[in-house]
Amino acid sequence: MSRRQPPSNRSRRRAQARSIGDAVEQGFGELRAGRIDAAAEKADRAVRDAPRHHGALNLAGLVALARHDTDTAIRRLRQAVEYGPSVANYHVNLAVAYRRAFRHRDAIEACERAVALRPDYVHAHLNRGGALFASEQYAEALVAFDAALVHAAEGSKEGALLLAYRGDTLRELGRLRAAVTSYERALEIAPDLPHAVSNLGLTLLEVGQPERGLELAHRATELETASGEVWMNLGTTLRLLDQLDEAMEAYATAHELAPDSAQLACCIGHVWLEVGDLGQAVQWFERALANEPGRVEAQCGLAAAALEADNAIAAVARYRTVLEADDDHALAWLGLGQALWADGDAEGAVEACRRAVELCPQRAGTLAQLGTILASSGDVDAANATNREALSVNPRCVGALANLAQNLRGQLDEADAAQMKALLDAPWVRDGARASLHFGLAHFDDGRKEYAPAAEHAIAANRFYTDHKRRRGWAYDPQDHERYVSRLIDTFTPGYFERTAGTGSPTELPVFIVGMPRSGTTLTEQIIASHPRAFGAGERTFASRAFAGLPRSLGRPEDTPLDCTKALTSEAVAGLADWHIEQLHGLTRKARHGDNDYDRVLDKMPDNYSLLGWIVTMFPRARIIHCRRDVRDVAVSCWMTQFKSIRWAFDLGHIAERILQYQRLMDHWRRVLPTPMLEIDYEETVADTPAQTERLLEHVGLSWDDACLSFHRTDRLVRTASVTQVRQPIYRRSLERWRRYEEALRPLLDRLGYEL
């Protein structure tokens, strides 16, 4: 009788391999069916029995991914790659895990290894493109998606999704028309593909089709109700259309579906930024960075929050930090331009915005922003050309149309004016955009001497802009300002100046040009800055920042600056004055000039009239020039200007109260300032420019120079809202402009005491 021979080692190994292989196949079946725990049990048993079985390790890694255990997934998938290095899909699965961990560089390298093994592997190209897109390497991502399309089955849903991803990439590259084409090709293959429907909707907003864009954004949420991405895109569409309450509702739904999305956290942060709740905005941007460290959009959001908090210096520094790491980030360049503008660096702002346009040449909003800055810097011809470029991308770009109307006034094309009037009735145009259109049409009618319709547009513009800003946290209380002026008057008394005599810096470098907005401060600065020994610094916040730093300098951080004036020390004042002078030297150095190249540096921040007491404390030998103008003309000019940060200029009652307090404070300074102050009237400068120029140069201690009479020919950019006057010779059309609007201005004139 023969005995049964025991199985050989080889047979046992083959049997074990079949058993493990069967377990792995069963595990994948469970995973595909969504039974993750059952799949995990199969994977764990297979790995325990065969620790080097690359199929089992691959299954274990995918199970960990399904459980959102990214660290375990990466560990297991790296082991799968180690023991099965020639299996291309292991490398792709590892890339997916790396992407979940935001290790985009590692993901790209893993996909490149997969492509080397299988050049026609669609998912390797696709995931490589996704990782490149996530790391904002958009040009390279486009190449990867195109490579995937070459190998994708024609007319397949996979091909449709690749076309949608291709559209995303083209959109980020600023190639909006090509993006629209790519999305539409995707929808020809898969008409109900949510990703393509949703992102096409967003893109259509930027090319002037907001109605269809909003329709598609809503449709995407119907197609894929459980997708956080499509709800987020709906929220962004609504936010861009200024429908903030509706946007936040969509974002709330998205947050329930994707609570850890860094992109969504940024979107929510931007809504809080819009409504002026900076604390909430910062929290959401920081949450985005916690979920995805290094996310540029979140860093730019924090910079924007700093700018909204009037800390332009901090905003500039943060944007520059972003750009040091990624010089091709258009959003950061645009934000830097806005921050530099707020800080008074017109040249730097233009340069930064030009870079943003260079990176995204088909974004109408970016072009319009550059147009705004160019015009306000005095380069009106370049501004108009830029706004025309914006309209070639989006014929209904409100910002570009409003800019052209304010620049060209009565010379605006009738077709443009008709487009603006039509947009006033568009249901998607909200209060902020409607205000811009009305302001532009007011300037258009004013330029044509159609003063009655101009007044109607100005009234509507101020009403809509006030409503728009109030919903974003803006408020202005004239009584609060009156109380502040009273404190200034009570603080800076003759006794105060006797007590502080001898403190401060003996320098004669700074010149402060002050007055109400639109009172001629820009004109005055341009005249003096045309002198070879004078440097025009524009509107600078150095004086207010130095004053705000007084409590810290004195070691009394809980006190207000005005409270601290009672405890001034020579050391504190000298230190702040030195800091102020260093900021001025920093500006001249940026302009590639030495510290001794100029005898005078001009600061034309109008509102510095409220800080004159502090200014002469720091700089008792500084030259002060007070620009005066008929306050009725100041009032009408402010009333017809869409200021970005002046809160009192959109209500005739507020304008009147501001003027009264300005007059009250200037009367006080005339009585108590120990430093001579030149007061120059805009009307006299217009009537006899040479004589007033001689007075200005004599006051600031500069010799006569004929260049000062040709101030409009200077190449220097100037940060100002006096858009079209900076490059023009003196003109008279702005004298007694108030008479054209006397009826509309009657409440203001009555409050100021002017009789009929």
Task: Report the 3 state secondary structure along 264-324.
Answer: HHHHHHHHHHHCCCHHHHHHHHHHHHHHCCCCHHHHHHHHHHHHHCCCHHHHHHHHHHHHH
- Of residues 756 and 174, more confidence is placed in 174
pLDDT at 266 over 60: yes
pLDDT at 294 over 70: yes
> Model confidence over 133-143: pLDDT tens digits?
988 888 999 99
The Cα–Cα gap between 522 and 721 comes to 9
pLDDT of residue 23: 84
Percentage of residues in the chain with pLDDT exceeding 90? 77
pLDDT at 652 over 90: yes
Please, is 381 exposed, middle or buried when counting C-beta atoms within 10 Å of its C-beta (0-12, 13-18, 19+)? exposed
Closest alpha carbon to 86 in 114, 45, 65: 114
| Pair of tokens at residue 165 | 């991803």
Element of type H or E holding 260: none
pLDDT at 712 over 70: no
pLDDT of residue 12: 54
Pick the CATH number of 496-631+674-732 from 3.40.50.300, 3.40.50.620, 3.40.225.10, 2.40.50.180: 3.40.50.300
| Pair of tokens at residue 654 | 């507020």
Work out the pLDDT band at 346, boundaries 50, 70, 90.
confident
Work out the pLDDT band at 703, boundaries 50, 70, 90.
very high
The half-sphere exposure of 385 on its side-chain side, counting CA atoms within 13 A, is 5
pLDDT of residue 407: 94
pLDDT at 1 over 80: no
Task: Please provide the DSSP assignment of 396-432 as one string.
Answer: T-HHHHHHHHHHHGGGS-HHHHHHHHHHHT-TT--HH
Instruction: Provide mean pLDDT across the span 289-318.
Output: 92
Which residue spans of the chain are classified as CATH 3.40.50.300?
496-631+674-732
pLDDT at 549 over 80: yes
> Model confidence over 278-293: pLDDT tens digits?
999 999 999 999 998 8
pLDDT at 641 over 80: yes
Work out the pLDDT band at 162, boundaries 50, 70, 90.
very high
**Is 480 in contact with 593 (CB distance < 8 Å)?**
no
Work out the pLDDT band at 362, boundaries 50, 70, 90.
confident
Work out the pLDDT band at 8, boundaries 50, 70, 90.
low
Please, is 731 exposed, middle or buried when counting C-beta atoms within 10 Å of its C-beta (0-12, 13-18, 19+)? exposed
pLDDT of residue 2: 47
Closest alpha carbon to 604 in 657, 536, 695, 535: 536
Backbone angles phi, psi at 627, to 5 degrees: -90, 125
Counted residue by residue, the chain has a size of 756
Work out the pLDDT band at 718, boundaries 50, 70, 90.
low
pLDDT at 538 over 70: yes
- Give SS3 for 207: coil
Instruction: Provide mean pLDDT across the span 749-753.
Output: 93
Cβ within 8 Å of residue 450, ≥6 positions away:
none
Residue 720: which region, alpha, beta or left (left: phi > 0; alpha: psi -120 to 50)? Answer: beta
pLDDT of residue 13: 56
Work out the pLDDT band at 168, boundaries 50, 70, 90.
very high
Task: Please provide the DSSP assignment of 98-166 as one string.
Answer: HHHTT-HHHHHHHHHHHHHH-TT-HHHHHHHHHHHHHTT-HHHHHHHHHHHHHHSPTT-HHHHHHHHHH
Instruction: Provide mean pLDDT across the span 92-119.
Output: 94
- Give SS3 for 547: helix
pLDDT of residue 726: 47
> Model confidence over 659-677: pLDDT tens digits?
999 999 999 999 999 999 9
The Cα–Cα gap between 418 and 698 comes to 50
pLDDT at 7 over 60: no
The Cα–Cα gap between 564 and 454 comes to 48
Instruction: Provide mean pLDDT across the span 88-100.
Output: 95
> Model confidence over 34-73: pLDDT tens digits?
899 999 998 898 899 889 999 999 999 999 999 999 999 9
- Enter the pTM of the model: 0.80
Backbone angles phi, psi at 595, to 5 degrees: -65, -25
> Model confidence over 174-204: pLDDT tens digits?
888 999 999 999 999 999 999 999 999 999 9
**Is 306 in contact with 315 (CB distance < 8 Å)?**
yes
**Is 752 in contact with 660 (CB distance < 8 Å)?**
yes
The Cα–Cα gap between 515 and 530 comes to 21
> Model confidence over 598-628: pLDDT tens digits?
999 999 999 999 999 999 999 999 999 999 9
| Pair of tokens at residue 498 | 């006797």
Instruction: Provide mean pLDDT across the span 237-255.
Output: 93
pLDDT of residue 342: 85
- Give SS3 for 679: strand
- Of residues 336 and 731, more confidence is placed in 336
Please, is 630 exposed, middle or buried when counting C-beta atoms within 10 Å of its C-beta (0-12, 13-18, 19+)? middle
pLDDT of residue 473: 79
3-state secondary structure string across 640-672: CCCCCCCCCCCCHHHHHHHHHHHHHHHHHHHHH
The beta-carbon contacts of 273-281 under 8 Å, at least 24 apart in sequence, are 273/301, 273/304, 273/305, 273/308, 274/239, 274/244, 274/472, 275/244, 275/471, 275/472, 275/473, 276/308, 276/472, 276/473, 276/474, 277/473, 278/305, 278/308, 278/309, 281/305, 281/308
Helix/strand/coil percent split, the chain, to 5: 70, 5, 30
Instruction: Provide mean pLDDT across the span 428-444.
Output: 94
pLDDT at 263 over 70: yes
Average confidence score pLDDT of the chain = 91
